[in-house]
Structure 1
Amino acid sequence: MEGSSSSDELSKISLRPLGLSDIEDFMVWATDEKVPRFCIWEPYTSKEDGIKFIKEHVLPHPWFRAICLDNKPIGAISVGSKSGIDRCRDELGYVLGSKYWGKGIATRAVKIVAHTIFKEWTHLKRLEAHVDVNNVGSQRVLEKAGFQKEGVLRKYLVLKGRTWDVVMYSLLSTDQCPTQ
């Protein structure tokens, strides 16, 4: 269950930049077949591909963080970077190693982002998350972190050989967030 983790363990959750020195920890969740089930990417099959991803996507990304337990990366969370007329909104994405699911860790990480991103990015007015309709766990994470369910986007994308319906969630800079 989501609340089954001790508050002591949750207090050890932090976010920090993910770097090349984290490749071994990154590969633990990136190669786990369960982890990308609801993600746009497939499990990684080589360390070289993981290094390439970190170099080409993580390091230049404006807001990509490792979700850490005792400073050890066990997942990742990011806020996308939009430009132009959509600059007032961005998308939240997160992933967590499967052995850490259901412990409140993803909720804690999303709450940390919710409490900091609008201060760090003052241009941001809206944070969005798109969740597969079948990913009930991720929907609970967002709801516990104060995101509002806005509706289902039917046949929103075609990915991994199927058409996905996704639930749209949002958090506004003016919303009250639950305490961390």
Structure 2
Amino acid sequence: MEPDTFDLAHVCLRPLLLSDIDDFMVWATDERVAKFCTWEPYTSRDAAVDFIQNNAQNCSLFRAICLGDRAIGSMSVRSYSGDDKARAKTAELGYVLGSKYWGKGIATKAVKQVVEMAFADLPDLQRLEALVDVENVASQRVLEKAGFQREGVLRKFLIMKGKSRDMVMFSVISGEVKA
């Protein structure tokens, strides 16, 4: 299925499987995809296998973004837990999408799907937030179109790839989710 001929109805979320390794390597090795991610582009299939086998355990929700049966990206929802009781009802959303699928509405549809899934599957969840690099304007638009509110810029919030980065905080609250 070519990216210019797809129907958004064919976009779905499902578990990322080891059988998706070839699809995963297409986007996970792309420097453009990894530019605003905390990770460097993957260079080995072994590292990719390790990620697929072990990353889901660190997330409340982890899904492949699929176009038909092809994994073209991923979504993660990580709950805050442990000693941070003040943030126990909050989770952070992350997502990545293969560059040839950018600007086609796929990320927005997938974010909307995972928001519904997160609030349905995590009954104590009250707030879902996403941090986006200030330079990643396209990802900011995805979140706005998916119903997230821009809350503000967190200056020099994290060090990513050796540089202090300003991040934009977005959130959606459980009562704001549209059916």
Give me the TM-score of the superposition, normalised by structure 1.
0.91
State how far apart, in whole Å, the 2-side matches of 1:33 and 1:48 are: 18
1:48 aligns with 2:46: yes
Residue 21 (structure 1) shift: 1.3
Residue 60 (structure 1) shift: 5.7
Residue 58 (structure 1) shift: 2.9
Q: Secondary structure at the match of 1:38?
A: coil
Partner of 1:68: 66
- Amino acid aligned to 1:26: F
The gaps in structure 2 that reach 5 residues or longer are: none
The gaps in structure 1 that reach 5 residues or longer are: none
State how far apart, in whole Å, the 1-side matches of 2:69 and 2:60 are: 21
Q: Secondary structure at the match of 1:73?
A: strand
Partner of 1:14: 12
Partner of 1:89: 90
Deviations 1:23-56 (A, max 9, x none): 1111110001110100100000011110011122
Task: Count residues in correspondence.
Answer: 174
Deviations 1:66-125 (A, max 9, x none): 000002100000101321412200000000000000000000000111222111111000
- Amino acid aligned to 2:111: V
Partner of 1:107: 108
Deviations 1:116-143 (A, max 9, x none): 2111111000000000000000000000
Residue 176 (structure 1) shift: 4.0
State how far apart, in whole Å, the 1-side matches of 2:148 and 2:124 are: 19
1:35 aligns with 2:36: no
Partner of 1:137: 138
Give me the TM-score of the superposition, normalised by structure 2.
0.92
| Matched-pair contact (CA < 8 Å) for 1:66–1:75 | yes
State how far apart, in whole Å, the 1-side matches of 2:60 and 2:168 are: 25
Deviations 1:136-156 (A, max 9, x none): 000000000000000000010
State how far apart, in whole Å, the 2-side matches of 1:164 and 1:64 are: 25
State how far apart, in whole Å, the 1-side matches of 2:168 and 2:35 are: 16
Partner of 1:124: 125
CA shift in 2, pair 1:61/1:80, >3 Å? closer
CA RMSD, aligned part only?
Answer: 1.7
| Matched-pair contact (CA < 8 Å) for 1:19–1:59 | no
